Amino acid sequence: MEDLILELKEKIIEVLNLEELTPEDIDPKAPLFGAGGLGLDSIDALELIVLLEKSYGIRLASAAEGKNIFTSVENIAQYVSQNRKK
């Protein structure tokens, strides 16, 4: 799980172009969206959906589904390890 969390952090930084951040800067339990968290928005959510499909073969049916999954890096890691096809 640790490896997956690091991998996810790296991919998130790359795909969302968070140039100023390193994996160490991201707390795996911290909220990703909204104020108080990393401050990601709805556009980032769509990019994460594409990331899930491209890297792990997981296809979400709607943007709304993503909301429950993308709460924190740890949560995404759990979802990916349970549902990955790649």
Partner 1 sequence: MTDSIAIIGSGIICALGTDKGQVRDSLLENRTGIGELHYLKSCHKELPVGEVKMSDAELKQALAVPATEEVSRTALLGAYALRQALADAHLSPQSLQGKRITLISGTTVGGTDATEQYSCANNTQAIARIVGIDCQQSTISTACSSALNAIILGTRMLQGDETDIVIAGGTEALSLFHLNGFNSLMILDHDVCRPFDATRQGLNLGEGAAYLVLQRTPEACMQESNIQAYITGWGNRCDAYHQTATSENGEGAFLAMTDALQMANLKANDIDYVNAHGTGTPDNDKSESTALRRIFGEEMPSVSSTKSFTGHTTSASGSIEAVICLIAMQNRFVPANYGWNNSTPECITPVALPTQKELHHVLCNSFGFGGNDSSLVISDREQPLCSIPTCECTFVGENEVTQEEELKELRTYISPMESRRMCKIMKAAFLTSMRALEKADITAPDAIIIATKYGMLENGQKILSTIHEQGEESISPTLFMQSTHNTLAGALAIHLGCHGYNITYSQGEESLQWALRDAQRLICEGKANSILVGLHNEMPPQLLYSKSIIVKKV
- In the complex, the residues that contact partner 1 under the rule CB under 8 A are 16-20, 39, 42-43, 46-47, 49-50, 53-54, 62-63
Structure tokens at 64: 């709304």
Q: Extract the runs of DSSP E, i.e. beta strands, from the chain.
A: none
Which of 52/73 has CB closer to partner 1? 52
- In whole angstroms, how close is the CB of 35 to partner 1 at the nearest point? 12
Q: How far is the CB of 62 from partner 1 (least distance, A)?
A: 6
Q: Is the CB of residue 32 less than 8 Å from the CB of residue 38?
A: yes
Q: Please report, for residues 16, 21, 74, 75, the alpha-carbon distance to residue 2 in angstroms, rounded to integers and kept in the order given.
A: 21, 19, 9, 12
Q: In the complex, what is the shortest distance from the CB of residue 28 to partner 1, in angstroms, rounded to a whole number?
A: 20
Nearer to partner 1, 2 or 19 (CB): 19
Residue 27 · residue 21 · CB < 8 Å: no
* Nearer residue to partner 1 within complex by CB, 51 or 77: 51
